[in-house]
């Protein structure tokens, strides 16, 4: 079972017919759906027919009830969820432009009232975990201890981080064995500018891999200070790239627990992201296993 710690988001989407540069555009599609990096990554894991579970607190509001229904509809187990007053989804408004670029504006004030579930649920989750996904920027206090416990149990931790380089985020970044982050945030964290220098700055003796994603330019990956792999993004007609990085994380973790070597992991991850990006507006955002595997095989 792949376990995820992060947050749930209630995403309100406005898709326009023009590109970002146009500055304005007519709305061609609206949609309300659930997201959050780890929620999206777990949906990709479930699409790939592997058990996935969210480990976290979820509130008692109508939006939280809908979030619970969304998890069930996407095959994500709620066995390790505690319902807690105030732990409601982050609210976000996402503008998607022609070509699939997106801008996410979010209100994450509910994270202050979203604790880690109690010890018994954490224990239960770790006892069945074959990998742990973490979104370092939004995971609740106590996540560092969960990561350390997972690693002591030999369970790999695949960590995402994309903004707010606070000391608590940095501690999580240091603790993970598989660090999978956007290239730009890697540059922020290290002060370096080339992928090689950024990866060198992020490497530590407890790492198993460092992967730097770079949108349409693909990704770079290392499994030692020296061993570098570059995988181009798959060419697709992107409709909505929201959550590409998240699908990438989910498929990476899925391949990892299935024994995939680094190149295979990033290839299947890139394929999952590309399939997601090309889904038509309004489609259920679960890239199918068949579509992912056939694109990865090209």
Ligand X SMILES: Nc1ncnc2c1ncn2[C@@H]1O[C@H](COP(=O)(O)OP(=O)(O)OP(=O)(O)O)[C@@H](O)[C@H]1O
Residue 214 contact, options Mg ion, ligand X, none, Cβ 5-8 Å cut-off depending on partner type = ligand X
Binds ligand X by CB under 6 A, chosen from 241, 251, 255, 267? 241
Q: Is 4 one of the binding residues for ligand X (CB under 6 A)?
A: no
Binds Mg ion by CB under 5 A, chosen from 245, 254, 275, 287? 245
Residue 215 contact, options Mg ion, ligand X, none, Cβ 5-8 Å cut-off depending on partner type = ligand X
Please give the Cα distance from 14 to 29 (Å, whole number). Answer: 6
Q: Alpha helices, DSSP H only, in 53-118? A: 62-73
Please give the Cα distance from 159 to 297 (Å, whole number). Answer: 26
Q: Least CB distance from residue 58 to ligand X, whole Å? A: 21
Please tell me the count of residues contacting Mg ion according to CB under 5 A: 2
What string of H, E and C letters represents the secondary structure of the chain? CEEEECCCEEEEEEEECCCHHHCCCCEEEEEEEEECHHHHHHHHHHHCCCCEEECEEECCCHHHHHHHHHHHHCCEECCCEEECCCCCCEEEEEEECCCCCEEEEEECHHHHHCCCCCHHHHHHHHHHCCEEEEECCCCCCCHHHHHHHHHHCCCCEEEECCCCCCHHHHHHHHHCCEEEEEHHHHHHHHCCCCHHHHHHHHCCCCCCEEEEECHHHCEEEECCCCCEEEECCCCCCCCCCCCHHHHHHHHHHHHHHCCCCHHHHHHHHHHHHHHHHHCCCCCCCCCCHHHHHHHHCC
Nearer to ligand X, 62 or 297 (CB): 297
- Helices 244-257 and 262-278: crossing angle in degrees, nearest 10, is 140
Residue 233 contact, options Mg ion, ligand X, none, Cβ 5-8 Å cut-off depending on partner type = ligand X
Please give the Cα distance from 290 to 278 (Å, whole number). Answer: 15
Residue 244 contact, options Mg ion, ligand X, none, Cβ 5-8 Å cut-off depending on partner type = ligand X
Per-residue interface string for the shown chain with ligand X, residues 118-157, x marking contact by CB under 6 A: ----------------------------------------
Both tokens of 196, joined, read 């090689």
Binds ligand X by CB under 6 A, chosen from 98, 187, 196, 216? 216
Nearer to ligand X, 84 or 231 (CB): 231
Q: Least CB distance from residue 164 to ligand X, whole Å? A: 14
Nearer to ligand X, 165 or 218 (CB): 218
- For Mg ion, the nearest residue by Cβ is 245
Return the range that interacts with ligand X (CB under 6 A); candidates 22-30, 82-90, 202-210, 239-247.
239-247
Binds ligand X by CB under 6 A, chosen from 35, 245, 250, 287? 245
Per-residue interface string for the shown chain with ligand X, residues 167-196, x marking contact by CB under 6 A: ---------------x--------------
| Residues in 156-215 at the binding interface with Mg ion, rule: CB under 5 A | 162
Residues that bind ligand X (CB under 6 A): 100, 162, 182, 213-216, 218-219, 233-234, 236, 238, 241-246, 248, 270, 273-274, 277
Residues that bind Mg ion (CB under 5 A): 162, 245
């Amino acid at each position: 079972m792949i376990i995820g710690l992060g947050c749930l988001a209630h995403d309100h989407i406005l898709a326009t017919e023009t590109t970002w540069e146009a500055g304005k555009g007519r709305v061609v599609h609206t949609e309300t759906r659930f997201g959050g990096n780890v929620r999206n990554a777990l949906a990709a894991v479930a699409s790939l027919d592997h058990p996935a579970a969210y480990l976290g607190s979820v509130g008692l509001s109508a939006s939280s009830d809908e979030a619970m229904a969304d998890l069930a509809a996407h095959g994500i187990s709620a066995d390790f969820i505690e319902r807690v007053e105030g732990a409601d989804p982050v609210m976000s408004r996402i503008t998607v432009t022609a070509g699939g670029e997106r801008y996410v504006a979010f209100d994450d004030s509910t994270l202050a009232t979203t604790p880690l579930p109690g010890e018994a649920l954490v224990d239960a989750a770790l006892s069945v975990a074959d990998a742990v996904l973490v979104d370092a920027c939004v995971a609740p206090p106590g996540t560092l201890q969960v990561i350390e416990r997972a690693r002591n149990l030999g369970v790999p931790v695949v960590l995402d981080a994309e903004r707010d380089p606070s000391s608590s985020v940095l501690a999580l970044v240091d603790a993970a064995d598989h660090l999978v982050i956007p290239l730009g945030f890697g540059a922020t964290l290290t002060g370096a500018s080339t992928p090689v220098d950024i990866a060198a700055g992020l490497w530590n003796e407890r790492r198993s891999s460092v992967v730097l994603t770079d949108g349409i330019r693909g990704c770079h990956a290392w499994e030692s200070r020296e061993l570098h792999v570059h995988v181009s993004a798959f060419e697709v007609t992107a409709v909505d790239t929201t959550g590409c990085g998240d699908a990438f994380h989910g498929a990476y973790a899925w391949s990892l627990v299935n024994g995939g070597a680094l190149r295979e992991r990033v290839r299947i991850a890139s394929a999952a992201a590309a399939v997601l990006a090309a889904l038509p507006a309004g489609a259920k955002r679960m890239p199918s296993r068949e579509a992912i595997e056939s694109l990865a095989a090209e």
